[in-house]
Amino acid sequence: MATIPSSIWNDVLGHVKLNHPSLVRGWFTQLIPTGIDQGVMIVRASNSAQSRYLVKHCRDAFIEAAQAALGRLVTVEFEVTQESPAQEPDDEAILAFRPVAETIRLNEHFTFDNFVTGPCNRLAHAAARAISDDPGRTYNPFFVHGSVGLGKTHLIQAICHAIREANPDAKCHYISCEMFTNDFIESVENGALHQFRYRYRNADILVIDDVQFLAARERSQEEFFHTFNTLTQSQRQIILSADCPPPEIPSLEERLVSRFNSGLVAFLDRPCFETRMAIIRKKAKLRCIEIPEDVVRFVADRIDTNNRDIEGALVKLDAMSQTESKPITAELAQEALGTMSTRPVSVSTIMEVVASSMNVKVSDLQSKRRAKSVSHPRQICMFLARELTTLSLEQIGGYFGGRDHTTVLHAHRNITKLLETEPDLPTQIEEIRSRVRHTTN
């Protein structure tokens, strides 16, 4: 058996790394070329799991590399170093596709049958239906965005339900963006990056909710960029949701913005009056609540924000009906929902209420002053504006002296953290929120 010079072997590994980077694993440096015999290059792996991975996924790549390095026709075979039973891995699952433990369980009610369509969401719904019929080939990637409570999660989970029903063997991987980044960080820390990549890059359908949380996470963006390319090039479906369109996601790399925009970007708007009535009927039916038509119209007229607020109104109506042993009537609805806002909240109203409550001037909130006595109330304004309005981050920032979307996002995150650490802040913000809604009415 002829030996293989180290220079030739380095050329083989270099060719594989250059031309097939998605196959490369850290333990490739441990492979030992034992020689060439009758046109067969023998490569020794450290254990059976490595050998199985090489045979299953890498044989053609190594044959191509060996022929390029040697300049003649050869093939490649893999063998295993003699190992004791204790060294033998239990199974090959570590190298095969498996969902992460934190994979989100689909809500059984989030199906197409339970999704109410209207002018606000007709394009997104039609696209979702088309994708579920032919994933990977129609509208890939699919990016759906809109404010909170408008049905983004419902719609993308409906796609997952439809695909799994049509093809139970499909690798439909549905997670939140936070889970993706946490899984990536843990994989890096545990030296299991190759498992992470195999897990995500071999999904048939990858669905990521709240992808805006990729913002400011450079390494996660880099990893997702390569995962995105691998999946789309092999015509596997990518579905993403966010609270704003790709260009408005702060700190998102231009190359990702470009790729997100390369498919269909669909916007979910607030439901119109007729759509709200249909949503009320649908949700009441799912909850087995009997609700008269005049109450349906009253609730639809009273709640014009989003689907979650509509569902919350129904829950409140049902609770009052059961507590007081009364049927749901217009009078009961008036009593239950009389304090709920009927008009959209404006940023100006929020600023006026915060300024009055925290003893600052509205002009200070819009100024460049950074003193804590001004910056803290300003951040509360931005937090409430993002929660109570449907404006984009950039639009909210415009009310505060032309600040950019990253400032608004930072303010929202900061107040969210303070709500967990400062015991008096939740009560203070709730009082401000109530005053804003009362002023709006």
- pLDDT tens digits, 240-250: 999 889 988 87
Would you say residue 196 lies in a domain? Answer: yes
Task: Verify that 37 and 156 share a domain, yes or no.
Answer: no
294 Cβ contact partners less than 8 Å away, ≥ 6 residues apart: 330
The values of phi and psi at residue 185, to 5°, are -60, -45
Domain-embedded: residue 1: no
Do the Cβ atoms of 11 and 62 come closer than 8 Å? no
Which amino acid type is present at position 346? S
The side-by-side arrangement of strands in the sheet containing 264-268 is 172-176, 205-209, 237-242, 142-146, 264-268
In terms of residue numbers, what domain contains 311? 273-337
Q: Are residues 255 and 280 in the same domain?
A: no
Record the tokens describing residue 301, joined without a space: 């007229």
Count of C-beta atoms within a 10 Å radius of residue 430: 10
Q: Are strands 40-45 and 32-37 parallel, antiparallel or unpaired?
A: antiparallel
Averaged pLDDT, 9-28: 85
Q: Are strands 75-80 and 40-45 parallel, antiparallel or unpaired?
A: parallel
**Residue 143 maps to a domain:** yes
Same domain, 179 and 261: yes
Cα separation, 441 vs 436, whole angstroms: 9
Does a structural domain hold residue 95? no
25/40 same-domain check: yes
What is the mean predicted confidence (pLDDT) over 304-315? Answer: 83
- pLDDT for res 133: 92
DSSP secondary structure code for residue 140 in this structure: S
Same domain membership, residue 227 and residue 277: no
Last residue of a domain, one of 268, 298, 321: 268
Q: How many Å is the Cα radius of gyration of the chain?
A: 28
Query: Judging by beta carbons within 10 Å of its beta carbon (0-12, 13-18, 19+), is residue 237 exposed, middle or buried?
Result: buried
Instruction: Give residue 174's pLDDT band: very low, low, confident or very high (50, 70, 90).
Output: very high
- What mean pLDDT do residues 102-119 have? 83
DSSP one-letter code for 87: G
Q: Specify the pTM.
A: 0.58
Can you read off the two tokens belonging to residue 45?
């792996």
CATH code of 75's domain: 3.30.300.180
* Same-domain check for residues 324 and 355: no
**132 plus 220 within the same structural domain:** yes
CATH number at residue 241: 3.40.50.300
130/228 same-domain check: yes
Q: Any idea which of 21-25, 140-144, 219-223, 321-325 has the lowest mean pLDDT?
A: 21-25
pLDDT score recorded for residue 86: 39
Q: How confident is the model at residue 190 (pLDDT cuts 50, 70, 90)?
A: confident
Where does 234-371 show beta strands of DSSP type E? 237-242, 264-268
Average pLDDT, the chain: 85
Per-residue pLDDT band for 98 (boundaries 50, 70, 90) equals very low
Residue 425 or residue 2, greater confidence: 425
Structural domain ending residue among the three candidates 310, 337, 364: 337
Q: Are residues 202 and 262 in the same domain?
A: yes
Q: Which of 223, 268, 208 is nearest to 243 (CA)?
A: 268
Of 205, 244, 211, 210, residue with least CA distance to 225: 211
**What per-residue confidence (pLDDT) applies to 307?**
83
Least confident of 14-23, 71-80, 368-377, 378-387: 14-23
pLDDT one-digit tens code per residue, 273-300: 888 889 999 888 888 888 889 888 888 8
| pLDDT value at residue 84 | 41
Q: Which long-range contacts (CB under 8 A, 24 or more apart) does 217-223 make?
A: 217/181, 219/184, 219/188, 220/180, 220/181, 220/184, 220/185, 221/252, 221/253, 221/256, 223/184, 223/196, 223/197
Angstrom CA distances, 23 to 43, 52, 194, 370, stand at 16, 13, 9, 51
CA distance 32 to 40: 14
**Residue 48 counted as domain residue:** yes
- Same domain for 260 and 277? no
DSSP letter, residue 175:
E
Domain membership of residue 102 (yes or no) is no
Residue 394's CATH number? 1.10.1750.10
Same domain, 239 and 154: yes
Q: Which of 292, 316, 337 is the last residue of a domain?
A: 337
The CATH number covering residue 317 comes to 1.10.8.60
Mark whether 15 and 42 lie in a shared domain: yes
Domain count across the chain? 4
* 97 domain residue, yes or no: no
pLDDT of 313-343, one tens digit each? 888 888 888 888 888 888 888 887 865 545 5
The answer to whether residue 107 is domain-embedded is no
